[in-house]
Amino acid sequence: MSETTSRMNYTYPSRDEDPWYDSFESLVTALDSSTFAHREDRSLVFAGGGTLSWTVATSTFTWDDTIQIASTISGRRISISANSLTLTDGQILYLDLTRQPLSNISTSFQVANQLPSTNNACAVAVRIGGVVYFRTGISLTDGATSTGIAPVPSAGGGGPGSDTTAIHDNQSGEIAAIALKPTPTTSDLLLIEDAAGGNAKARITIGALPAATPATHAIGGARHSSSTLAQINALVSDATLDGVGDPRTDNDAIHDNVAGEIVSITSKGTPTVSDVLVIEDVADGNNKKSVTIGSLPFGTGTDPDAIHDNVAAEISAITAKATPTTADYLIIEDAADTDNKKSITIGNLPAAAPASHASTHEPGGGDAMTVDAAAATGSLRTLGTGAAQACAGNDSRLSDARTPTSHNTSHQSGGGDAIKLDDLAAPDDNTDLDSTISAHGLLPKLGGGTTNYLRADGTWAAPPGGTDANAIHDNVAAEISAITEKTTPADADLVIIEDSADSYNKKKVQLSNIGGGTTATAAEATSYRELVSNALDTQGVSVVENDTGEGVFDAGLHQSVVFRSTLTASWASTGTLTVSLYDDGPTTAPGTPRLVTSFAKTANGGYEVFEQALTIVSSGAGSNQVLGDARVYRVTIEVDGTTGDTGYIGSAGFVATGSAEALSADQIQAIVMSLNA
């Protein structure tokens, strides 16, 4: 039994496998495919893609132009249209390549947690943390972009120090030579190496820089000059920084021990609810806080604009809205929520059940309805026979005995209440409905028996004597040859037969079901391709002689193939005659022989014909199988036993059948030439 490798699952022969060639061939084929894929992957050239970008927050990789991949081995180009995809940490971006394509092709990137173990999978990039690394040598950090999927060198070539506009880590004076911006802003950009991102380069704004805490230092120390101290003293009204115990007074502060400070501040004539007051929060240790006027709790005073539950005529004094709408608001106290006040729209008010008022709609009432209005108009109805009056329940017009209007068409075919003929009651035993020479009708009552026939006058009669001139008879010559011939029969055409399996009853058969089942213009071509004839082998004294015969045979031109040999046994009383068929390989390059089939004939067995059906396969042929292309086949005969024993083959070769429906005219001709050569 064959074995497989642990990683690539290559099949190879086991230690004692026999036959071993198929397993060995499978191993070599797998190695060839894998080696070619490895060689092609190393020779791929990537280009294009427009602007490539990477965003970590959404794990989105985007390219805005077609990426071109040149396969230098096959000479073809692979295109990947602009697109975007999601790439999570650790995932691989790869291609499922078509090896050796016949033309330029288009494909798309695939994403997986692990590269598939196939020869067609080719890794392109991998995400590690917040960075995407590409096989072309580029990498993308968060927010970074790249022009093209492959790095493009600047003009003048590459190499150390070749980019005169770059900032290098080993050259001095480069930054000092750049134009100075005298007044930086918080939106200006800086270039950093991100310690949290593997020291990948990234950009930040000046405003995003973390605030640095200065080291502790004395105001009068070396970091501040005497002029600096003088400036600080000038900004403090009555203090110097030289005397720590001197008093310091803020003239603009509000103090808790100084009178008349608030009254001296400019007054605001009309405060608003958004104005801010300073308070001391008793709930928070009397810490000072700000509040708006609008958030102050009401005291015990009176709000002149409020609606009170103990003051009359407040609502009537408000401006009236002449025409309320369903969208207007009302204020309510919600009985289902502890009578908390809430707003509702007029349209959401529940409908109140009206009081009894039927009399208002009767004649003479305040909202009387019309009596006997036109049809389809709501109104009161009086009883009567008028077009607008109602019908009483006991009206005679509603009686079942009322004669229906004419409606025979509704029971006819296609009518709304059609009646089937077989659903009617059985007719009387009379001739009322029989057909006549002047009117259609029913079939006359059968007369019984098996010999009479129905005549055109409607009566049953015995058939007259004589001959049917249009019949085909088994005792009359030239009847079929006189019929019009169809020169191109079709599969669906019918012929009449007498069925031997059914007491020779006559039946019809389609042409396509006769014989092999096709009506192609040429019949099936069946012929014999002989490889050896009149071959004789005699057992020698010390050397076994092998007589052979060979020839070319193309199994692909046929529907079925049989190996046939006619032989007699050796003339002596011992020994066995063995006949073997070998496949020596394709006609263009014969190789190691492969045993197709063989058989043995015991001595003195007499004349015998041996046949073995062979299966036609496209590849990997085994026992009793032939490949569907032109190959060299060889027949050998060998006799063993007593010296002088002789074996004889009258003929050995192929019996092949090719369907004219499955083969072209040229192929049919090729069959005839190859089999009858």
Structural contact between residues 293 and 272, judged by C-beta atoms closer than 8 angstroms: yes
Structural contact between residues 359 and 338, judged by C-beta atoms closer than 8 angstroms: no
pLDDT tens-place string over residues 356-375: 888 888 888 888 889 888 88
Structural contact between residues 139 and 132, judged by C-beta atoms closer than 8 angstroms: yes
Compute the average pLDDT of residues 645-668.
62
pLDDT-derived band of residue 451, with 50, 70 and 90 as boundaries? confident
Q: Which is nearest to 317 in space by CA: 325, 307, 309?
A: 307
The more confident residue out of 83 and 428 is 83
67-76, 203-212, 598-607, 621-630: which range is least confident on average? Answer: 598-607
pLDDT-derived band of residue 66, with 50, 70 and 90 as boundaries? very high
Is the per-residue pLDDT at 440 higher than 80?
yes
CA distance 67 to 77: 10
pLDDT tens-place string over residues 218-275: 666 666 666 666 677 666 544 444 555 555 566 778 888 888 888 888 888 899 989 8
- 624 — alpha (psi -120 to 50), left (phi > 0) or beta? left
Is the per-residue pLDDT at 458 higher than 90?
no
Q: What percent of the chain has a predicted confidence (pLDDT) above 90?
A: 16
Is the per-residue pLDDT at 436 higher than 50?
yes
pLDDT-derived band of residue 148, with 50, 70 and 90 as boundaries? very high
CA distance 551 to 557: 16
- Residue 48 is predicted with a pLDDT of 93
Compute the average pLDDT of residues 448-458.
81
Compute the average pLDDT of residues 12-29.
84
pLDDT tens-place string over residues 531-573: 887 777 766 533 344 567 777 777 777 778 888 888 765 444 5
DSSP secondary structure string, 218-277?
A: -TTSTTS-HHHHHHHHHHSSS--TT-TTS----TTS--TT-TTTTTTSPPPSS--TT-EE
Average pLDDT, the chain: 80
Q: Which is nearest to 74 in space by CA: 56, 98, 50, 51?
A: 98
- List the strands of the sheet with 44-48, edge to edge: 44-48, 67-71, 76-80, 105-106
The H-assigned helical ranges of 376-526 are none
pLDDT-derived band of residue 420, with 50, 70 and 90 as boundaries? confident
Q: Which structure tokens are listed for 443?
A: 């079939």
Say if strands 608-617 and 625-627 run parallel, antiparallel, or are unpaired: parallel
DSSP 235: H
Compute the average pLDDT of residues 613-636.
87
Is the per-residue pLDDT at 665 higher than 50?
no
Taking the domains of the chain in order of start, what are their residue ranges? 4-40, 43-147, 490-519, 525-675
Say if strands 594-602 and 576-586 run parallel, antiparallel, or are unpaired: antiparallel
- Residue 221 is predicted with a pLDDT of 64
CA angle 609, 553, 522 (to 5 degrees): 85
Is the per-residue pLDDT at 606 higher than 80?
no
The 10 Å Cβ neighbour count of residue 226 is 8
Those residues whose C-beta lies under 8 Å from the C-beta of residue 278, and which sit 6 or more positions away, are 288, 289, 290
**Does domain 525-675 bear CATH number 2.60.120.660?**
yes
- Residue 219 is predicted with a pLDDT of 66
44-53, 382-391, 488-497: which range is least confident on average? Answer: 488-497
What are the angstrom distances between the C-alpha of 331 and each of 282, 325, 351, 376?
35, 15, 17, 43
- Residue 127 is predicted with a pLDDT of 95
Task: Indicate the SS3 state at residue 21.
Answer: helix
- Residue 50 is predicted with a pLDDT of 93
The more confident residue out of 534 and 391 is 391
Instruction: Tell me the chain's radius of gyration from C-alpha atoms.
Output: 55
Q: Which structure tokens are listed for 252?
A: 């603009």
Compute the average pLDDT of residues 71-89.
91
Q: How many helices (H) and strands (E) does the chain have?
A: 3, 34
Is the per-residue pLDDT at 523 higher than 70?
no
Say if strands 547-554 and 83-86 run parallel, antiparallel, or are unpaired: unpaired
Identify the top-confidence range among 296-300, 444-448, 544-548.
Answer: 444-448
Q: Which is nearest to 58 in space by CA: 81, 83, 85, 82?
A: 85
What is the maximum span of the chain, computed from C-alpha positions, in angstroms? 159
- Residue 649 is predicted with a pLDDT of 76
206-220, 456-470, 544-558: which range is least confident on average? Answer: 544-558
